[in-house]
Amino acid sequence: MNKLTIILCIIFSIIFLTVGIFVGIQIQQKDSIETSEESNDKAEEKQSSKEDSDDKVEEKQSSKKDSVNDLNKEMEKLAIGTFNAKFEVYISESVSGAKVRSLVSSVKSSNAIEPEHQITIEPSDISTKIVASKKYLVKAEYGNDGYINKISITEK
């Protein structure tokens, strides 16, 4: 994958996340207005059924909150997958020195623009030891949040 493809994937993911959030907010606002109107109509028609309609409104609001939470979780999974994909293409038992250089460069760039998701490379001085003609074992470790947080590179 070249850098342009990766950048386009990142841009697409950001746009997708933004649209998803906007759509979720719009749906939540529309549903809130509809729920409010339904509650007002029922209260005017029949005062005695007030308790039942209150229960239904609470159930709908709870269901909507669950839907928004589910949407947020899915968007977070997408963000994690997009982030990790930039580095997972290099994870292998036999990676060329040139690709290892590219990986190190990608990690440095990512660390510069995404301070909340830092990746450490071990050994830390690997960039001075890379030989283009040699092969390397590249492994990744993931944090509790699902993001890659460490990449280990070993000469084969």
Look at residue 35 in the predicted model and tell me its pLDDT.
Answer: 59
- With 0.75 as the threshold, say if the pTM is over it: no
Per-residue pLDDT, 69: 78
Q: What is the pLDDT of residue 19?
A: 61
Q: Count other C-beta atoms under 10 Å from residue 138's C-beta.
A: 20
List Cβ<8 Å contacts ≥24 apart for 22-31. 24/67, 24/68, 24/71, 24/72, 27/67, 28/64, 28/68, 31/60, 31/64
Triad 119, 124, 126: Cα angle to 5°: 110
- pLDDT averages per 10-residue partition of the chain, 156 residues: 66 66 64 59 58 62 72 87 93 95 95 94 92 95 96 94
